[in-house]
Amino acid sequence: MAYRATRLISSLILSNRVQSARRSLKAMSRRMGGAKAELLYFHQPDDPYSHLAAQVLSDLRARYDIDLQIKLVDPPLEDVAPEREALQNYGRRDAASIAPYHELSFTDIGRQPSASSYQSARRALAASSNLAHAAIEIGKAFWADDTTALDRMAMVSEEKTEQVFQEGTKLRDSLSHYLGAMFYFEGEWYWGLDRLPYLEERMKNAGLRLSGCRQVSQFQTRPEFMSKPSNGKRLTVEFYPSARSPYTAISMAETLDLPNHYPVNLEVRPVLPMVMRNLPVPKRKGFYILRDTKREADRIGVPFGKIADPVGEPVKRVYSLFSWADEQNKGGDLLHAFTDLAWAHGVDTGSDDGMRQVCERAALDWNEAQKIIDNKDWEVWAEENRLRMMASDLWGVPSYRLLDEMGKELYAGWGRDRIWLLVCEIQKALES
């Protein structure tokens, strides 16, 4: 059956043994050719995460025996970044939030800088012979929308600028990626500060870290859970998952555990997957997400990799049971069981047998579930949840909103990558 073939193929693609062999071949080829290890970095001037990444480039070059090549790239196309305005608004806010935790700087002026600042920043970057330094200074001026400062910088012609950016963008595309702030090392991609520790670990294991040098980056981790909050407050965490999202699958356990450690009400608000909302997910994006999810899952100890893609009917079927399960305080358990079976165990969750396994894992009565499964009631609340999520410039899943006792938003964030920051914001709100 198709799902069995998908499970086999995904297992091979995501196999740690296959990855290890591929890395060994890349390193062997480099050594036999006598070449220095090359690290490519792709810088997008209007991307907040690129500005953060630029601030660590000199340290990477100083601490590793590598040839660091910095390439300038254009923004991603609509097919891989369909909610561009939400992405821009959220990216600025998120970069400003995480920068202090990395001892870096980013200031959000509350809007994208002007088109003239963007064009000037591009021309100044294209003129630079030392991008590791220039990207920081030009970035500071750009994100402050300081056209006067940008105009004082050396620039090249628009024609030359376009040539430089087209070359970088074409190279990134040929290596099958689409974002800015990306590092590429011997066949694998690493996004910005969040994935930089993976890159550094790999370069260290390849013997490329210089003697006496420390790692530049560290994974951000949530603070220790609070055992006995004392101020009597009770907050709300809105959790926006998608049953077809790999990132959601590896976020479920940690998210559902939050109320066991904090005085928070967890509201699970599922949304329809992007591809089922007629938003494209190109193959290169899909493959990167799967590989990225696998290494995150391995790091945090969550099973992932034997996949039976639940797109379409399986998602509709589990959503048709969600309200029924949620009335029994098991809505989250239902989705957790579904995503685990689909993304870690390769179960055909669209079949009756698969849905039976989902219900049994969630301690729900399959006989009762059969009486209501495949209803269409979920279509109304799924769209309401999407609109509520988008109102906070959140477009992807899983997303989180933290609300105070009056319903005021205290924090909104996207991804399992930001659970640590969500916890920091919970503690901050409880301690204020």
Instruction: Give the residue-averaged pLDDT of 117-121.
Output: 98
Neighbours of 311 (CB within 10 A): 15
pLDDT higher than 60, residue 228: no
Beta strands in 147-273 (DSSP E): 182-185, 188-191, 235-240, 264-268
pLDDT value of residue 423? 96
Could you tell me which of 341, 371, 340 has the C-alpha nearest to residue 354? Answer: 341
pLDDT higher than 80, residue 225: no
Instruction: Give the residue-averaged pLDDT of 160-168.
Output: 98
pLDDT higher than 70, residue 239: yes
Q: Would strands 235-240 and 399-403 be described as parallel, antiparallel, or unpaired?
A: antiparallel
Task: State pLDDT tens for residues 341-400.
Answer: 999 999 999 999 999 999 999 999 999 999 999 999 999 999 999 999 999 999 889 999
pLDDT value of residue 4? 58
User: Which residues lie below 8 Å from residue 104, measured CB to CB, with a gap of 6+?
Assistant: 52, 55, 56, 193
User: Which residues lie below 8 Å from residue 118, measured CB to CB, with a gap of 6+?
Assistant: 45, 46, 142
pLDDT higher than 70, residue 127: yes
Handedness of CA 322, 328, 332, 338 (dihedral sign): negative
pTM of the model: 0.95
Task: State pLDDT tens for residues 61-97.
Answer: 999 999 999 999 999 988 877 788 989 999 999 999 9
Q: Which two tokens stand for residue 144?
A: 């402050």
pLDDT higher than 60, residue 141: yes
Instruction: Give the residue-averaged pLDDT of 34-45.
Output: 96
Spell out the domains of the chain, with CATH numbers in brackets. 26-205 (3.40.30.10), 235-431 (3.40.30.10)
User: Which residues lie below 8 Å from residue 323, measured CB to CB, with a gap of 6+?
Assistant: 331, 377, 378, 381
Residue 15: pLDDT band with limits 50, 70, 90: confident
pLDDT value of residue 329? 97
Residue 274: pLDDT band with limits 50, 70, 90: confident
Could you tell me which of 382, 417, 86 has the C-alpha nearest to residue 255? Answer: 417
CA–CA gap between residue 407 and residue 237 (Å, rounded): 10
pLDDT value of residue 222? 87
CA–CA gap between residue 224 and residue 235 (Å, rounded): 18
pLDDT value of residue 227? 61
Inter-residue contact 65 to 36 (CB < 8 Å): yes
pLDDT higher than 60, residue 17: yes
CA–CA gap between residue 391 and residue 386 (Å, rounded): 9
Could you tell me which of 255, 319, 309, 312 has the C-alpha nearest to residue 287? Answer: 309
pLDDT value of residue 188? 97
Element of type H or E holding 69: strand 66-72
Instruction: Give the residue-averaged pLDDT of 98-108.
Output: 97
Beta bridge partners of 412: 401
pLDDT value of residue 394? 93
Mean pLDDT of the residues in the chain: 94
